Amino acid sequence: MNPGVEAHQLISELIDHVETVVVGKRKVVKLITVALLAGGHVLIEDIPGVGKTVLVRAIAKSIGADFKRIQFTPDLLPSDITGLSIYNQKDACFEFRPGPLMGNIILADEINRTSPKTQSALLEGMAEGHVTVDGVTRALPVLFFVMATQNPVEYEGTYALPEAQLDRFLLKLSIGYPDRRDELSLLNRVPDRNPLNELEPILSLADIMYLRHQVASVYVSDSMKNYLMDLVEATRTHPMITLGVSPRGTIALLRAVQAYAFIEQRDYAIPDDVKAVAPFVLGHRLILKQEAAYDDVDPLTLIQEMINTIKVPVLKKEMVK
Amino acid sequence: MRTYRWNGLTNALVYFLVGFILWTCAEPVTVLTILNSRSLLIIFILVMMAIFYLRCPSWLCMTACGLMILYGMHYYFFHDEPLLSLDWLISLGTAITSNLGSVLQGKLLASSDLFSAFLFFVLLGLIMFAIRHWLRSGSFVLFVSFAVLSLALIDTFTYFDGNRSMVAVIVAALILLIVHKWQSFSAFIQDKNTIKKSVSWFAASGALIFAILVVALSAPKLDTQWSLPSSYLSSLNLDFLQNGSFFSGSQRIGYDEDDTRLGGSLGMDSTPVFTVSVSGKPGYWRVVHKDNYTGQGWGDSNRFFLPIADTQTFSSTLSLYENQTRTTRQMAILRFTNASPAILPYTGQPEQVSVPDRRLKIEQATGQVLTENERKASIERLTYAEPVFQTARLRQATSEADPEIVRERNLQLPETLPDRVRELGQRLTAGKTNRYDQVKAVVDYLRSSRFRYSTDQIPRPASNQDYVDQFLFETRVGYCDNFSTSMVVLLRSAGIPARWVKGFTSGEYQGQVAEKVNGKTVNLNKYQITNANAHSWGEVYFPGSGWVTFEPTPSFSDPSQFASASSNNDSTASNPNQSTNNQESKKTQQNAPTTKEKPVKQTQQAKDQSVKEKQPNQKKMNVHKAAGVHINWTFIGWTLLVVCLAGALASIFTRKKWLTAFYLRRIQHSELRSWKDFYDVYHVLLRILNLHGLKRSDTETLREFAERVCSIISGNEMFVLTKHYERLIYEYDTNLPPVNQEHIRKLINELTSHLNQQNEYVRKMNKRIAE
């Protein structure tokens, strides 16, 4: 059997699996899978009650890996998530007790409710792949996938994440209200049966590592890379944008495009992949000018606009003579 | 129910407007040609439109159209005969078949008025059927553009003033388009708002029409940019454009055999007809004289030709002067051009006419000289007697001495001649004691300021109106035909035998030339005669002196030489350039030159013409004449240009069809062996889709485009093909599988068949909307 086909199979199974719990949000599920496969992290920002946590838990439960959940509160300390050394009286030495950050899949719930100090501890781990506790640097597991949720900053009792830290997330998503039909089916569910509890893991840690390897080999042609660059450069010259996409952002976009192409069961990327992921990869990496805020322009529409003005490569150099 | 009634009403309005536009475009025909009955044309159009409106079956429409054509032919050409008789139908049939015969022989331009009229009616019928088709398919824009184009052409190339018609057509066309648009959208709106929406639609578009009119009428206009398109055209030598007595109104000046219906305006045309080298003072060049006045013009008598040998004198067959007129012998050489009609003009009393290699014949009743088979001559040598009339002798002439044949022929008047014309003739001559003074009285009356000379904007007489009566009592404006015909009719009313002559004036003096005549070189005066010199005048019979020419048209000088006494006859005769001007002819402008050798250019005469040219077309066809093959390259060039332009336009309008076919052929011919082939084929497919209105925008990905295509034309072939193409351009080259030729070809075939189905569907929907 073709290993590629098998891999594609695994992914669609995963997505279908999650969809049994979160109805009608296939696109969001796909994007989270993109982050998972591209080795990035996801920030889900939306109003309370649309199913952020359920979605993330469903994905986490579908993967047979060490799942940790951190509920961020204003009084949470960095050591609460990284772990701390405790004096072992029996051995007469300090012994490290790993915190919840030391898992494979981390659900960082309501990340903007905690103090910046704790936020940085999380973000350091996400960026560096290790945490420093009591002067000792400890590596995080190979599969380290953070799915953070947050309420929109306008809500009370929140600490906005600084822009530089937002950059650590590969994607920033929002879920939105479900369709009327989907919401109706939600109402019709048997109340005392939680489908979340019935989820069984279908992907192993090894599977994920294998898929990540596959994703990294998805072919992105030169014309496609130029297309990516066109888009990135457009963000840097746009009159409404103070700060465009950094090279880190460009690399993130490339990874996301590769992962998306793979989810779409291809081993090569096409412009549609870029159009599909670009707003979520680039949106939170832009700093808009004040005028944009006055005009009530949000980054997603700006990126959509740019996508709609950049020429799509449809020719092959070798073929044109 | 209500909608249905409204639809019926607006449909009637649409048919009426179409009929109106058609009428406006056809109206110039009643002014420009002999088909001058407006009511007949209106009835024709109304009847056909009514029949189309009632959605009669095709056979009924065609029958009605045929009957209308027959009625039109009867109305114009056989109105003397009862409508329900077979005779005129038979003669119509023979006329058409004989004309058809000559058309089939390539003598396109030799057709008679009857045939031209017949063709016009048939064309009108065909246009009506085209309109019927347009009405059903709702393509009014085409119809309106044709209408505007035809009017513009008529306005440009004829003297018809199309300004008012043009405005009327535009307004009618706008209303038509508005009503039609309303029909098509009201078919979809079935709710209660229909009336409200319709009212606002009509109000808005009505205001728009008003605004357009106000702006268009008040906006400053450019002056005419192209002042004389008709003279430009004639400079191109497109003779056929100006051909035909059929065009009654502003025919160009020239020679025309048909004088049965006179009237209408004339245009100017200075195409040379012939040049003449003459030893004496040139008189008028006569071609034909006519005796039979019909009330509308000069009827043709039975054509009876006598052959004449080169050496035979003319006196036996044609005798113009009698013994009391002194004559001097002169000679002339006439040279004809390619544009000349097949006629042999002459002056004075011809004694010998010779045309090399041609046998001649003369028509006794009219004095017209032709070559056998009416082929055009290139040169005519003429020896003639130049007359000098003795005024004293003319005064002595009495009507008792008129020969019987002259009385019989040259006192003829139609019964329909109004009494006031007769009375005027008698009143003018009353009190004059002799024939000469009587004639002078009539001539002076016509040359007086009561009448104005003009070739422009001369109204045609109505079909039941007398030509002379119209001129003398109503219009008082006209040209030589009016004046000469009136003179003859007035004289005949007074009992003086007279006849009508047409030909050419003496033309423009071109200087002296040396000619070899019978081995001797002599100096002759050269004149050029153009179509603008065509003219008509009157002749009066004086017993003992013969036929004397009189010039009734103002601004033309009398070419006749009169000697007041017999004593100075010799001197005038020997010096023809110094003609004697009697007091009687003092009102005529002196044509004789002050110097002996150089006649004054007769520029004032260039303004007149009466004799319309009908090109003897057979002559034109005979390109293999002695002068060698004549090919009109300008004409061929223009024709080619027009054909190319028309072809280019047609191919632009039909490009969807033929370009698609062309591209599909390219696809079919592609081997599809390599990905490169597929790459090309896919791009051709994109072009085909583009032709059908499916264009990929630059920022649209192939997949988005394919989805759009598939949502419009059924099937997902484009999507599958696009996936292949995507793979080709975005995939790493070595990962590409080999091309699956059959699979791709099948996809393409299905795609094109879906595309055709879609087009068919769209066409059907459009048709349904139109209906």
Would the pLDDT of A135 be above 60? yes
Give residue for tokens 């100096």: B523
| pLDDT tens column, A17-27 | 888 888 888 88
| pLDDT tens column, B47-58 | 888 888 888 888
How many Cα atoms sit within 13 Å of B192 on the Cβ side? 0
- Cβ contacts below 8 Å, chain A against chain B, sum to 57
How many Cα atoms sit within 13 Å of B369 on the Cβ side? 29
Kindly list the strands in the beta sheet with A105-109, ordered across the sheet, starting from the edge strand earlier in the chain: A67-71, A105-109, A145-150, A42-45, A171-173
Distance CA B215, CA B349 (A): 65
Report the candidate in B695, B692, B706, B700 with the shortest Cα–Cα distance to residue B663: B692
Does B357 or A35 have the greater pLDDT score?
A35
Strand partners, B368: B363
Query: CATH 3.10.620.30 occupies which residues in chain B?
Result: 253-593
pLDDT at position B323 is: 77
Closest residue of chain B to A221, computed from CA coordinates: B730
Distance of CA A151 to the CA centre of its chain: 16
Nearest Cβ partner for A319 among B679, B699, B704: B679
User: Looking at residue B475, what DSSP letter applies?
Assistant: I
pLDDT at position A244 is: 87
Chain A residues within an 8 Å CB radius of B728: 316, 319
Q: Average pLDDT over chain A, rounded to whole?
A: 86
Which range scores top for mean pLDDT: A222-236, B284-298, B613-627, B723-737? A222-236
Strand partners, A69: A107
Distance CA A21, CA A44 (A): 17
Helix (H, G, I), strand (E, B), or coil: what is residue B331?
strand
CB-based contact A255:A39 (threshold 8 Å): yes
CB-based contact A189:A214 (threshold 8 Å): no
Is the domain spanning B253-593 CATH 3.60.21.10? The answer is: no
H helical segments located in B187-338: 194-218, 229-235, 239-242
Would the pLDDT of B619 be above 50? no
Would the pLDDT of A225 be above 90? yes
Closest residue of chain A to B698, computed from CA coordinates: A311
Q: Min CA distance, A4 vs chain B (Å)?
A: 13
- A231 C-beta neighbours (distance < 10 Å), count: 22
Distance CA B52, CA B136 (A): 10
pLDDT at position B107 is: 64
Q: Min CA distance, A240 vs chain B (Å)?
A: 21
CB-based contact B28:B154 (threshold 8 Å): yes
Give the CA distances from residue B342 to residues B259, B288, B618, B678, B717, in Å, rounded to whole numbers and listed in that order.
Answer: 17, 13, 9, 70, 72
Q: What is the mean pLDDT of residues A255-274?
A: 92
pLDDT at position A41 is: 92
pTM, two decimal places: 0.49
Q: What is the mean pLDDT of residues B557-564?
A: 76
Most A CBs within 10 A among B730, B733, B736, B739, hence the mutation to make, goes to B730
Report the candidate in B763, B765, B756, B758 with the shortest Cα–Cα distance to residue B661: B756
Q: Min CA distance, A242 vs chain B (Å)?
A: 25
At residue A157's C-alpha, the angle toward residues A155 and A159, to 5°, is 90
Interface of B with A (CB under 8 A): 675-676, 679-680, 696, 698-704, 726-733, 735
Percent pLDDT > 70 in chain B is 80
- Architecture per CATH, domain A218-321, reads as Orthogonal Bundle (1.10)
- B117 C-beta neighbours (distance < 10 Å), count: 22
Nearest Cβ partner for A312 among B675, B699, B731: B699
| pLDDT tens column, B686-724 | 888 888 888 888 888 999 999 988 888 878 888 999 988
Contact B699 A311 (CB under 8 A): yes
Q: What ipTM does the predicted assembly reach?
A: 0.86
Which run of H or of E encompasses B381? strand B379-390
Give the CA distances from residue B492 to residues B436, B466, B539, B550, in Å, rounded to whole numbers and listed in that order.
Answer: 14, 15, 11, 14
| pLDDT tens column, B245-297 | 444 444 444 556 667 667 666 666 677 788 888 887 778 888 888 888 888 88
Nearest Cβ partner for A314 among B676, B727, B729: B729
Contact A315 B726 (CB under 8 A): no
How many Cα atoms sit within 13 Å of B239 on the Cβ side? 21
Report the candidate in B467, B486, B454 with the shortest Cα–Cα distance to residue B262: B467
User: Looking at residue B480, what DSSP letter applies?
Assistant: H
Which pLDDT band holds residue A300 (cuts at 50, 70, 90)? confident
Interface of A with B (CB under 8 A): 219, 221, 223-224, 267-272, 275, 307-316, 318-319
Would the pLDDT of B120 be above 80? yes
Helix (H, G, I), strand (E, B), or coil: what is residue A67?
strand
Distance of CA A78 to the CA centre of its chain: 22
Q: Kindly give, in sequence order, each residue whose CB lies less than 8 Å from that of residue A177, ignoring residues fewer than 6 positions away.
A: A50, A183
CB-based contact B305:B363 (threshold 8 Å): yes
Give residue for tokens 């229909």: B194
Most A CBs within 10 A among B689, B696, B701, B707, hence the mutation to make, goes to B701
Chain B residues within an 8 Å CB radius of A318: 733
Which range scores top for mean pLDDT: B28-37, B149-158, B645-654? B645-654
Most A CBs within 10 A among B699, B705, B725, hence the mutation to make, goes to B699
Contact A312 B735 (CB under 8 A): no
CB-based contact A284:A172 (threshold 8 Å): yes
Report the candidate in B243, B254, B263, B250 with the shortest Cα–Cα distance to residue B28: B250
Contact A311 B702 (CB under 8 A): no
Closest residue of chain A to B728, computed from CA coordinates: A316
Would the pLDDT of B123 be above 70? yes
CB-based contact B129:B143 (threshold 8 Å): no
Chain B residues within an 8 Å CB radius of A309: 699
Distance CA B551, CA B739 (A): 95
Positive or negative, the CA dihedral B540, B368, B489, B476 is negative
Query: For chain A, where are the E strands, in sequence order?
Result: 42-45, 63-64, 67-71, 83-88, 93-98, 105-109, 130-133, 136-139, 145-150, 171-173, 203-204, 241-243, 287-288
Give residue for tokens 């000349």: B340
pLDDT at position B600 is: 37
Contact A312 B703 (CB under 8 A): no
Structure tokens at A289: 């000018």
Would the pLDDT of B192 be above 80? no
Chain B residues within an 8 Å CB radius of A221: 729-732
According to DSSP, the β-strands at B562-563 and B292-293 are unpaired
DSSP letter string over B35-74? ---HHHHHHHHHHHHHHHHTT--HHHHHHHHHHHHHHHHH
Distance CA B652, CA B657 (A): 10
Q: Average pLDDT over chain B, rounded to whole?
A: 77
Contact B730 A269 (CB under 8 A): yes
Helix (H, G, I), strand (E, B), or coil: what is residue B608?
coil
Would the pLDDT of B508 be above 90? no
CB-based contact B369:B347 (threshold 8 Å): no
pLDDT at position A226 is: 93
Contact B731 A219 (CB under 8 A): yes
pLDDT at position A259 is: 94
Identity of the residue numbered B472: L
Distance of CA B659 to the CA centre of its chain: 40
Positive or negative, the CA dihedral A44, A49, A53, A54 is negative
At residue B91's C-alpha, the angle toward residues B86 and B92, to 5°, is 95
pLDDT at position B254 is: 52
Would the pLDDT of B426 be above 70? yes
Contact A309 B699 (CB under 8 A): yes
Q: Min CA distance, B634 vs chain A (Å)?
A: 45
Contact A270 B732 (CB under 8 A): no
The phi-psi region of residue B354 (left if phi > 0; otherwise alpha if psi is between -120 and 50; otherwise beta) is beta
Diameter of chain A by CA atoms?
80
Strand partners, B369: B362
Contact A268 B676 (CB under 8 A): no
Helix (H, G, I), strand (E, B), or coil: what is residue A290?
helix
Contact B701 A275 (CB under 8 A): yes
Chain A residues within an 8 Å CB radius of B730: 219, 221, 223-224, 268-270
Q: Min CA distance, A124 vs chain B (Å)?
A: 37
Q: Min CA distance, A216 vs chain B (Å)?
A: 14
